[in-house]
Amino acid sequence: MAETVEYEVVTQAGAGRDAGSGEPVLMSARASEGGLDAAAAAARRLVDALVRLGDSTDYDTDALATRINAIAAEVEDALPDEAARLVEMWQQEGPNRHDLVTGPQNPIAPPLVVHGQPDGSVEASTTLPIAYQGQPRMAHGGISALLLDHTLGMANGWAGRGGMTARLTLNFKRPVPLGEPITIRAKQESVDGRKLYTQGVLSVDGEPCVTAEALFIAGHLPRPTAD
C-alpha cells in the first residue's frame, strides 16, 4: 500500500468540533470578494454562459475563443513553479481553497458550502448550474456522486478521523434538479480500526434524491513538501 498519514482537523475557528459552541461551524473556505477567488468566480460565470450560449446565435465565437486564449496565455505567463504551487496548495490546515468541490479558488467547484453540526454530522449546500447537466434539466449522476463522496469525507474530518474512499454505494432515488438549492447531510456512523463507515443523503426540498453509504480507510496520502 502507499504510505498514508493522518491529519488533525482544525476548523476556521481554530478548533475541532469539540470546541462545543453548539453552533454550526463553517468547514469549507469562505470566498473572498477579490483576488483569485473572484477570478475563479468569473471563470465559473464564463463556463455557465458558454454552456448556455449554443450555436444558434450571431455572437462571434471565433473572436471569443481568441480572447479567452489571450487571457489564458497571460495567466500561464504568470504561473509559479508547479512543485512550489503544490506545496502551497496543501500547506493550509483549514479548508482547502483549491479543491474541486468546495474550493473558492477552483472554477470547476460548484462550490459546495459545508458546515459541521453540533450533533457530529455535516450539512452542505449549493445550487448546480447547467454545466453539470446529465439528463435534461437534471444533474449528472457523477456530480451527485462527487458531492456525496466529498461531503462524506468531510463528515469523517468533522468526526475527527478522515480517510480515503475505499467503497461508495449510491442509490439514485429521484433526479437532482439543476438551479435549485440542494442539501447534503452526512455523518460518520461507526469506526472499526482503520475502517470508517459513513452515510449521507442529498435532498432537494426535503425530498431525498440520492443516498450514499461508504467505507473509508483512515489516512491520506502525504502532503507535498518543499524537500
Ligand X SMILES: CCCCCCCC/C=C\CCCCCCCC(=O)SCCNC(=O)CCNC(=O)[C@H](O)C(C)(C)COP(=O)(O)OP(=O)(O)OC[C@H]1O[C@@H](n2cnc3c(N)ncnc32)[C@H](O)[C@@H]1OP(=O)(O)O
From the number of C-beta atoms within 10 Å of its C-beta (0-12, 13-18, 19+), residue 212 rates as: buried
Nearer to ligand X, 29 or 176 (CB): 29
150 touching ligand X, by CB under 6 A: yes
Strand partners, 195: 192, 217
Measured in whole angstroms, the distance separating CA 211 from the mean position of its chain's CA atoms is: 17
Nearest alpha carbon to residue 150 among 165, 166, 171, 131 = 165
CA dihedral 100, 87, 163, 116 (to 10 degrees): -60
Residue with Cβ nearer ligand X (132 or 158): 158
> The C-alpha cell of 42 is what?
468569473
| One of 47, 87, 89, 215 touching ligand X (CB under 6 A) | 215
Q: Is 139 in contact with 121 (CB distance < 8 Å)?
A: no
Place of cell 453540533: 118
Q: How far is the CB of 27 from ligand X (least distance, A)?
A: 4
Q: Output 64 or 217, the one with its CB closest to ligand X.
A: 217
166 binds ligand X (CB under 6 A): yes
- Report CA-CA distances (Å) from 71 to 32, 37, 39, 98: 22, 16, 11, 20
Instruction: Give whichever of 108 and 217 is closer to ligand X, judged by the CB atom.
Output: 217
Among 95, 103, 129, 200, binds ligand X (CB under 6 A): 95
Question: Which cell goes with 139?
Answer: 444533474
- How many residues bind ligand X (CB under 6 A)? The answer is 24
Among 24, 94, 107, 160, binds ligand X (CB under 6 A): 94
- If binding is defined by CB under 6 A, does position 140 make contact with ligand X? no
Among the candidate windows 77-85, 136-144, 147-155, 173-181, which touches ligand X by CB under 6 A? 147-155
Task: List residues binding ligand X (CB under 6 A).
Answer: 1-2, 4, 9, 11-12, 27, 94-95, 149-150, 153-154, 157, 162, 164-167, 193-195, 215, 217
